[in-house]
Amino acid sequence: MSKLTPPLPKFLRPTPPRPGQKEGPGRNGDGDGDGNGNGNGKPGRGEKLKDGALEGTAQVVGYLDERTGASPFLRGFLYRKTPKGTNWFYTLGSATMFAFVSQAVTGVFLAMYYEPGVSRAYESAAHITNEVFLGELVRGMHRWGSTVMIVLLFLHLGRTFVFGAYKYPRELNWVIGVLLMVLSLAMGFTGYLLPFDQRSFWATAVGVNIQASAPVMGPYIADFLRGGAEFGGATLSRFYALHMLLIPGLLGALIGAHLYLVAKLGTTAPPWLKAEKKELTKEEI
């Protein structure tokens, strides 16, 4: 193994011998002198089980790795080098992604009870809240999680901006991030209509009319969103399809591209860290 390879995780490394134990590979050493062992150097029952489990895991991992070649990729992806000064602000992106995953999971389960028709939308949303077991909790997590995701998204955007992490060579990742922001806001806009109560109805009516106020294209965009000249049943199913299928798919794909670029380019050091001045060796001069 070269020096550049990241170290193996601890559980894959052989255990070093304990003090007072004879030299040799670890793992099979019985707990000498700790009273649990049988004292004749044979492995105890617990040790045997542990060994078997480890071996079985290693075999499964080995089987998968041999057939997918995943381990070089995963090691490069998970054991990346990070700059000095990396701090809690660098977790905001992952936090936003976790909020997205939570929205996706709760959204899938909400879709099991929600019915996107004008006569049933409000009833089914009320049914989720009032009657389904834990329905209030799942709907509440989705409803408040959307706000959490937007807040985290803007904190992440602000961190990137203030730390100058959008600069060369990461401009493209900034552009992808802005697209993710627009799509997340579109998720909020389309999801707001789905409970189909007075608040969501009028908020969406106003929201669509704001888009209609754009010159030239505005009236056509509004017609597209409403599915016609008037707000109606077509509007609700359109928003449902956008919220459930089109925008989440785009979000997932763009998050993949965003993460790929993060892994490829690495993260930036915080701006308060100066580059270290290194003594040049003779060869370098």
In the complex, the residues that contact other proteins under the rule CB under 8 A are 118-119, 196, 201-202, 205-206, 208-210, 212-213, 215-216, 218-220, 222-224, 226-234
The sign of the dihedral angle between the CA atoms of 275, 276, 279, 283 is negative
Closer Cβ to other proteins, 141 or 193, answer by number: 193
User: How many CB atoms sit inside 10 A of residue 138's CB?
Assistant: 20
Residue 238 CB, nearest approach to other proteins (Å):
8
Nearer to other proteins, 233 or 266 (CB): 233
CB of 164 to other proteins, least distance (A): 39
Q: Which is nearer to other proteins, 17 or 232 (CB)?
A: 232
Residue 113 and residue 124 in contact, taking contact as beta carbons nearer than 8 Å: yes
Nearer residue to other proteins within complex by CB, 4 or 206: 206
Torsion angle, alpha carbons of 115, 116, 120, 126, to 10: 70
Q: Which residue, 68 or 209, is less far from other proteins as judged by CB?
A: 209
Cα distances from 55 to residues 21, 49, 60, 121, in angstroms, run 23, 10, 9, 53
CB of 234 to other proteins, least distance (A): 7
Dihedrals phi, psi of 69, to nearest 5 degrees: 65, 30
CB of 199 vs other proteins, minimal distance in Å: 12
Count of C-beta atoms within a 10 Å radius of residue 255: 19
Give least dist CB 107 to other proteins, A.
Answer: 22
